[in-house]
Structure 1
Amino acid sequence: MRRMWQTLWWHHFFLLWTTINGQTRYSIPEELKRGSVVGNLAKDLGLGLSEIFERKLRVASEAGKQYFSVDAGKGELLVNDRIDREALCGQSASCVLPLQVVIEDPLQLHRIEVEIRDINDNSPSFLSNELSLKLAESAAVGTRFPLESATDPDVGSNSLKSYTLSKNECCSLRIKEIEGGKTVPELVLDKPLDREKKAVHKILLTGLDGGSPARSGTSQIIINVLDINDNFPVFEKNVYRVTLGEKSMRGAAVIKPKATDADEGLNGDIEFSFGSRTPDSVLSVFDINTLTGEITLKGTLDYETTRSYDIDLTAKDKGSPEMQGHCRVQVDISDYNDNPPEIVFTSQPKPVREDAPGGTVVALISARDLDSGENGKVTLQLPKGSPFTLKPSFSNNYALVTSGALDRESFSEYNIEITATDSGSPPLSSKKVIPVSITDVNDNPPAFTQPSYNVYLKENGVPGSILYSVSASDRDFGENAKISYSILDSKVQDVSVSSYVYINSDNGSIYSMHSFDYEKLKVFQIHVQAKDQGSPSLSGNATVHVFILDQNDNAPAVIYPSSAALGSFSQQRMPRSAKAAHLLTKVTAVDADSGHNAWISYRLAEATDASLFTVNLYTGEVRTKRAVSEQDDSSQRLLIEIKDDGEPVRSATVTVSVLLEDGLHEPILDLRQKSAEPSQKGGRVTLYLIVSLASVSVLSLLTFLILAVKCIRNSRSSGSCCMRRSDCDEYKNPNRNLQIQLNTDGPIKYVEVLGGDMLSQSQSFRSCMSPMSEYSDFTLIKPSSTADFKEVISVLDASLPDSTWTFESQQGRPVWKPCPPAETSSITINSSCTVPKKESSVRARDWILIDFCILFFFL
């Protein structure tokens, strides 16, 4: 009952304990039952009951064993296991058990101390229940014999306090104090011994502690009275003190105490030995020479286990009875830096977002060293260049925090090597690697393999076929790296591009919605967007240029001769007086295709008389191979085949019916005869004609001189001579361009002229020229639609046939016409157009009109 009230008193004393120096301190008696309340931890730390569970409060003990736990429902600190103060702290006056309270989200560390108070649960005890002494009967009164000291694991008032000796007739008890506040009982001889009266004395030695109630332990002393040898060995000192290094080698000499005996012979021969109650912990480490008394080291020393040894030495003579002398050797162990520091995780590291601000706590760690003094002082270091740093807390506790920018794409995980070094000489160190993973943030947009792609697609393809596959990558991870593809809305010939193509959102494959016609659409653009699944999502764009390649899907179309009623049929008349190489007619055909597919050749497939007519392969001119004879039929039929150069070849035919007639030249002869008759009126007309022709010639010469001077000036200022169509449409619209494409592959020369606004429908003009013909025609075929052309492409190859070309404008459309081959052999045409600034000039067309007006006036 008394024990219960004492426990209750201590419990109330503990509840009134307050925090000291910012740390919570509790005090409890040892041996409390499991589940006993230590204190209200939540209240003392200022936490609500809900926070204990939500923030995962836990208690960690530095002692290794978990003696305490937390009641999450009440926030109380409970005893988790039996606490034996003597096992934890031994004979230390103060027994404090440090605890660490870890709270997560956010991480916090609190240090509390629990003082374990001693209770009188141990009785004083002797190493042996029986002590045998041999005393000579001649022992002088007052002689002292040291007795075995009792030990009590308890401390304070509960420790050993006094000794008592049972009632006897020869001896008394005396307590001797030695260094360190310890007491040693000594047996004092009060009366001379008489072996003949009593040879054996039995005395009971009792040790008492100061507890309430007091506890005691006993040991029986048996005194055997011996005869004669009345001198015992005497040591020079009662206590020897020596310091020994922790790393001393085995066999090293510790100390050599000296003892003397006044007797002679065997009574003066001394043997040394350890005391009879010497513990095994001493016997396993030290050895003694029985003849010299030298103590040597035979085991290993560990300062962290035992810091000092108390050795009892006995010197015995060989007399009869033998006499003993006693002394004590205290061996102090000096610390050696033989324990490397240790790094302990207080909390495991957590993943960190790559956009985490500086100072974000990653983990809580602590450092400790089993050595003492300078050997136990520990410092922690991180490698240079690490985006982390250590923030000291208290008592060798640190917080690992971020100190720089993180980038998961560069380093997705850091293995932080922490080095712990003590201050010993030489210093010892240890390393520990802390893995810290970096979580991804959507900070990288998808990137295509290239900013633009060129796709070449044949016309008339199968709808639904794949055009191209674009690919984009994202340096992020997980959902932030998942990419979906889409086509941005744009216009192609005023129609949404989504009506032409569609894209697979998963793999970036682009498919056609229908087949394409090169003659209607030559090029268009697709703007593709790659978008990730992050929050917020990021995107990247790329442009796909689709070029439609021409296929030979159009047969040549006959322009001349052509008749709506007769189809490709022509009736021609030719005089029988026609000579060889007489030009009957010229067949003209065009092909809607381009390139090789539009190269046209003419061939005489059938003829009434194949020896009479021939067709030029490239120009389509129908001429006589020989002079017409009287034997030739008056009606000739020619079937002319027109073929292109595509694959497969496409063709068309035209039929020419020729009537050979006599007398077609007679009207001309009559006219010549009439005009040859001299008359006065005819002479005047001739004079007028001569004057008119001279005037027209002079005006034409002036016109051409003015044009030549203007062209030379333009060539000096812009480097080119401008053959312009209405001053290049005056280029009021900066988006209008002119593109001339030349293909010189093969016998047929192909030129394509493209012109128009960038944002409107362009116009296309083509020409087929043959270097093998005497005459070459530049025929306006048709305007065709083109896509946007951002640059003016001006190309004319030097391999053009030697011919003179002029440029005229008919109803707002440019037309190229050949000049007679006899006038010149070659001419170079620069396609770039130079527009004078704020300059109005007379067009070539106007000069020609002026010349015709003057000529008409004179006529």
Structure 2
Amino acid sequence: MGVCWGPVVRVLVLQAAWALGGGQVRYSVPEEAKAGTVVGRLAQDLGLEAGEPEARRLRLVAQGRRASVEVSGASGALVVSSRLDREELCGKSAPCALRLEVLVERPLRVFHVELEVTDINDNAPLFPAARKNLSLAEFTTLPGSRFPLEGASDADVGANAQLSYTLSPSEYFTLDVKSSDENRKSLFLVLAKSLDRETMAEHRLVLTAIDGGRPSLTGTMELVISVLDVNDNAPQFNQSVYKVLLPEDTLEGTLVSRVRATDADLGIYGEVIYEIDSVLPPSASDVFSIDTNSGEIRLTGALDFETVTFYDLHVKAKDKGSPPLSGHCSVELEVLDVNDNAPEVWVTSLSVPVPEDAAVGTVVALLSVSDRDSGANGRVRCAVWPAAPFGLVATFAGSYSLVLREALDRERVSEYEVEVRAEDGGAPALRASRGVRVPVSDVNDNAPAFAQAVYTVLARENNAAGAELARLWARDPDEAGNGRVSYSVAEGVGGGAVAGGGWRAASSYVSVDAESGRLWALQPLDYEEVQVLQFEVRAVDAGEPPLCGNATVQLFVVDENDNAPALLPAAGGGPGGGGRGLGGVVAKIRAVDADSGYNAWLRYELWEPRGKGPFRVGLYSGEVSTARALEEADGPRQRLVIVVRDHGEPARSATATLSVSLVEGAEAALAAGGAAAAAAAAAATNVWLVVAICAVSSLFLLAVVLYGASRWAPRAAVLSGPGPATLVCASEVGSWSYSQRQSRSLCVAEGAGKSDLMVFSPNFPPPPGPAAKETQPEAPALVDTVSAPPLCRLSPLPPSCGPGRPAPGVVMEGDSWVFRVFSPHGVMSPFLFSYWRNYESREGNTEFSSVFV
């Protein structure tokens, strides 16, 4: 083998130099060194000069056996001449030293040289035999039994001869090595477990010996162990633990697992049957079954992850020996969760009813939400529907508060059906909901409110005491006592003017039922005493504190025809001066009616004589005039019976008898003079009467203005200026309202008679002809404007209204038609309403305005 000997030789030279000091040279060379390997510079070490080794014939002296080294004659070096085998030279001796003698002639000297042959690992361990056979009986040889083995030997020495042993892997056998002394070891084959011939009839093992050289060398011996059979094998499962995963919705009858056990015995001793030995938890013993022959385990009950998540089945396999031998295994079943449980919502606390004035953030209910599933299947999201006025606030895991998000109004919604919806995170997701009924309790936050701010009531005069005039109703949306309304006439507020001046409280005329709101008369009403009552009705609820509302009632007394016409004294004391000509006014019949409107509209008829008499009477003026020229045949005296009728239903009348004497011209002149004197006296009297009337009227007008300012100051102006509509009235005689567009000043005058004044803006030129002569000259009682054509366009036409002729009392003033109708009490005449109603029903777009005093 190739070895680098330079360092070795240097060491040997140093040793030789040291040895020369003692008269001996020592060298060392490894065995198996190649021929020609220089062991040492022998001549130099012996102190010979160059050339002397050959001259002095330096040589080795043979020692009886062939030396494996020699001296080179030229250089005097000691070199290997043949194979050195330490084991051959020294055997097991150590160290292996060769003693050599070196001769030098001229002069002759003998030197002793010691050559040590060092060992190399050139011998592998060697067993006595390549194979060793053993026979062992199954189960009769107990585990732990020891069987001695013969170890290996190694020709090398030292570390190269130090042996270690290994045994090929085996579950049945192990190797036990014990050192008896430094160089000897005892080997034992140890039985680790009982042998089973049915499992393995023969075991082949390899025993390996490894020396301590580098690199190490090995030797092997095969161990053949034959197992002698006995019937002593229990069934063995192919695995001790079977692990199974099943979802909880697995159907009954599904194969859970198949276990398998084998028995190496023959015949009936090798036949295996299976059974479930135990189940954990014990309550699940009827959930599984096993086939005794095949070992198939099937599901016979339902799995529920929420009840049991893990099952441990202990399965036993036994043979048919006597006694039987058995083996065991475990089947571990893990149940996988599926989303088979919907979320559950519980109301743990509910605070109802909720007051409608509850603050935002008030907790209405406490809820608990859970899902028996796990993981994402058990994560629950919650929401409330409808989204308002409630919301959910999470307090901690699985708990929520139902809180108020918006203000409540019981009058708008008195009860809420709230649905709390829960949804888990499974796929598909499962949902659940819980309804929560949240009633809202009432607080007194609404005052009674009448349907109208102003009620207009028409009451016929002469009604019976206790007659129901109207029903007032105020709505209070609160409930129970908060919404229970009682009615009353406001004390000291409102009333009506009575005839002859003065003011009388409304409570003396009417009363209102506290519970029903029925307005009834305390006494019969007399139109001639009072025409309009205006008062307030108050509605108060029973809440704490009570709230109230007001409504104004305008009670208009509708005139009945209960007064017959009354004749007035003649203005003059003498006969008229008409003479015998045609159309001359003879006299004038004057009459008044305490009623109003149609009931006070008088007409005059000549009752006697009938036929073609010489006189006639004006239908509405009451003027008696000649209808033709008087003749001698008419006689010196005429007796005229004139009937004055009103237009009421039924009509009332009065009769006047007028005596007309026919005189000559001189008597007529005297009569005329007397009449003139009487007229002058009457005129002087009328001047003082006018002054008195003006004074009284001024005082009355001032009182009315002051009262109106104090009474209606907070309200929209009624007497003048534009303002909102405040009164709407409908009756069998027509319609009227305060105008939203325009109004006119109110004029009041005292006197025996009054008139209603309407102004029509014409939409075509006025008809030709003179204005009506029969218009009364009294001061107007009211002024207002409507857009309408002349009254004669209405149907049916008023009396004395024909083609091209205006209605009675219609005159043209400026660019408007003015219609005056006699009305002694200043209230719109009912016939005007009937014509207005007919017109309104045809046109449909007319605005009618009125102001009453």
Partner of 2:297: 295
**Following the alignment from structure 1 to structure 2, what is the Cα–Cα distance between the partners of residues 386 and 755?**
54
Matches of residues 169-188 of structure 1 in structure 2 within 5 Å? none
**Following the alignment from structure 2 to structure 1, what is the Cα–Cα distance between the partners of residues 611 and 308?**
136
Q: Secondary structure, in 3 states, of the residue corresponding to 2:813?
A: coil
Q: Secondary structure, in 3 states, of the residue corresponding to 2:377?
A: helix
* RMSD, aligned CA: 4.7
From the superposition, tell whether residues 295 and 531 of structure 1 become closer, same or farther in structure 2 (CA, over 3 Å). Answer: same
Q: Secondary structure, in 3 states, of the residue corresponding to 2:662?
A: strand
- Checking the alignment, whether the CA contact within 8 Å between 2:448 and 2:541 is kept in structure 1 is yes
From the superposition, tell whether residues 588 and 398 of structure 1 become closer, same or farther in structure 2 (CA, over 3 Å). Answer: same
State the 1:280 CA deviation.
Answer: 6.8
Matched, 1:555 2:570: no
**Following the alignment from structure 1 to structure 2, what is the Cα–Cα distance between the partners of residues 767 and 420?**
77
From the superposition, tell whether residues 589 and 253 of structure 1 become closer, same or farther in structure 2 (CA, over 3 Å). Answer: same
Q: Secondary structure, in 3 states, of the residue corresponding to 1:534?
A: coil
**Following the alignment from structure 1 to structure 2, what is the Cα–Cα distance between the partners of residues 735 and 535?**
37
Q: Secondary structure, in 3 states, of the residue corresponding to 1:542?
A: strand
State the 1:292 CA deviation.
Answer: 2.8
- Checking the alignment, whether the CA contact within 8 Å between 2:466 and 2:523 is kept in structure 1 is yes
* 1:520-539 deviation line (CA, Å, top 9, x unaligned): 43333232232222223333
Residue among 221, 239, 242 paired with 1:240: 242
State the 1:387 CA deviation.
Answer: 1.6
Give the partner amino acid of 2:561: N
Matched, 1:765 2:765: no
Matches of residues 704-783 of structure 1 in structure 2 within 5 Å? 765-766=754-755, 776-779=773-776
Matched, 1:508 2:517: yes
**Following the alignment from structure 2 to structure 1, what is the Cα–Cα distance between the partners of residues 258 and 669?**
165
Matched, 1:363 2:355: no
**Following the alignment from structure 1 to structure 2, what is the Cα–Cα distance between the partners of residues 608 and 236?**
149
- Checking the alignment, whether the CA contact within 8 Å between 1:345 and 1:365 is kept in structure 2 is yes
Matches of residues 314-713 of structure 1 in structure 2 within 5 Å? 314-488=316-490, 489-493=493-497, 494-561=503-570, 572=575, 578-606=580-608, 611-625=613-627, 627-629=629-631, 633-662=635-664, 664=666
**Following the alignment from structure 2 to structure 1, what is the Cα–Cα distance between the partners of residues 748 and 641?**
46
From the superposition, tell whether residues 236 and 640 of structure 1 become closer, same or farther in structure 2 (CA, over 3 Å). Answer: closer
Give the partner amino acid of 1:534: G
Residue among 809, 829, 832 paired with 2:813: 829
Matched, 1:792 2:784: yes
State the 1:516 CA deviation.
Answer: 2.8
Q: Secondary structure, in 3 states, of the residue corresponding to 2:507?
A: helix
From the superposition, tell whether residues 526 and 792 of structure 1 become closer, same or farther in structure 2 (CA, over 3 Å). Answer: same
Give the partner amino acid of 1:504: D
Partner of 1:857: none
State the 1:480 CA deviation.
Answer: 1.5
- Checking the alignment, whether the CA contact within 8 Å between 1:794 and 1:831 is kept in structure 2 is no
- Checking the alignment, whether the CA contact within 8 Å between 1:571 and 1:657 is kept in structure 2 is no
**Following the alignment from structure 2 to structure 1, what is the Cα–Cα distance between the partners of residues 505 and 635?**
63
State the 1:736 CA deviation.
Answer: 6.9
- Checking the alignment, whether the CA contact within 8 Å between 2:577 and 2:668 is kept in structure 1 is no
Partner of 1:309: 311
Give the partner amino acid of 1:302: D
From the superposition, tell whether residues 664 and 518 of structure 1 become closer, same or farther in structure 2 (CA, over 3 Å). Answer: same
* 1:361-406 deviation line (CA, Å, top 9, x unaligned): 2122212232334433333221252222222223422222212111
Partner of 1:180: none
Give the partner amino acid of 1:546: L
Give the partner amino acid of 2:535: I
**Following the alignment from structure 2 to structure 1, what is the Cα–Cα distance between the partners of residues 552 and 346?**
57
Give the partner amino acid of 1:792: D
Partner of 2:219: none
- Checking the alignment, whether the CA contact within 8 Å between 1:618 and 1:773 is kept in structure 2 is no
Q: Secondary structure, in 3 states, of the residue corresponding to 1:355?
A: coil
Q: Secondary structure, in 3 states, of the residue corresponding to 1:596?
A: helix
From the superposition, tell whether residues 832 and 542 of structure 1 become closer, same or farther in structure 2 (CA, over 3 Å). Answer: farther
**Following the alignment from structure 1 to structure 2, what is the Cα–Cα distance between the partners of residues 612 and 511?**
56
- Checking the alignment, whether the CA contact within 8 Å between 1:737 and 1:758 is kept in structure 2 is no
State the 1:438 CA deviation.
Answer: 0.9
Q: Secondary structure, in 3 states, of the residue corresponding to 1:524?
A: strand
Q: Secondary structure, in 3 states, of the residue corresponding to 1:431?
A: strand
Give the partner amino acid of 1:371: D
Give the partner amino acid of 1:828: M
Sequence identity percentage:
39
Greater C-alpha Rg: 2
**Following the alignment from structure 2 to structure 1, what is the Cα–Cα distance between the partners of residues 593 and 788?**
21
Count of residues paired in the alignment: 508
Q: Secondary structure, in 3 states, of the residue corresponding to 2:421?
A: strand
State the 1:424 CA deviation.
Answer: 3.5
**Following the alignment from structure 1 to structure 2, what is the Cα–Cα distance between the partners of residues 799 and 245?**
98
- Checking the alignment, whether the CA contact within 8 Å between 1:354 and 1:438 is kept in structure 2 is yes
State the 1:482 CA deviation.
Answer: 0.9
From the superposition, tell whether residues 761 and 392 of structure 1 become closer, same or farther in structure 2 (CA, over 3 Å). Answer: farther
- Checking the alignment, whether the CA contact within 8 Å between 2:494 and 2:533 is kept in structure 1 is no
Structure 2 runs not aligned, ≥5 long: 1-137, 145-193, 195-228, 498-502, 671-696, 707-716, 722-742, 758-767, 794-804, 818-853
From the superposition, tell whether residues 780 and 230 of structure 1 become closer, same or farther in structure 2 (CA, over 3 Å). Answer: same
Q: Secondary structure, in 3 states, of the residue corresponding to 1:664?
A: helix
**Following the alignment from structure 1 to structure 2, what is the Cα–Cα distance between the partners of residues 611 and 518?**
40
From the superposition, tell whether residues 571 and 289 of structure 1 become closer, same or farther in structure 2 (CA, over 3 Å). Answer: same
Give the partner amino acid of 1:300: A
- Checking the alignment, whether the CA contact within 8 Å between 1:572 and 1:657 is kept in structure 2 is no
Structure 1 runs not aligned, ≥5 long: 1-136, 144-190, 192-226, 564-569, 669-724, 739-753, 802-820, 834-859
State the 1:471 CA deviation.
Answer: 1.6
State the 1:299 CA deviation.
Answer: 2.1
- Checking the alignment, whether the CA contact within 8 Å between 2:279 and 2:313 is kept in structure 1 is no
From the superposition, tell whether residues 471 and 384 of structure 1 become closer, same or farther in structure 2 (CA, over 3 Å). Answer: closer
**Following the alignment from structure 1 to structure 2, what is the Cα–Cα distance between the partners of residues 653 and 278?**
127
Residue among 254, 258, 279 paired with 1:256: 258
State the 1:798 CA deviation.
Answer: 4.5
From the superposition, tell whether residues 359 and 664 of structure 1 become closer, same or farther in structure 2 (CA, over 3 Å). Answer: same
**Following the alignment from structure 1 to structure 2, what is the Cα–Cα distance between the partners of residues 760 and 486?**
36
Partner of 1:268: 270
- Checking the alignment, whether the CA contact within 8 Å between 2:371 and 2:378 is kept in structure 1 is yes
**Following the alignment from structure 2 to structure 1, what is the Cα–Cα distance between the partners of residues 408 and 744?**
56
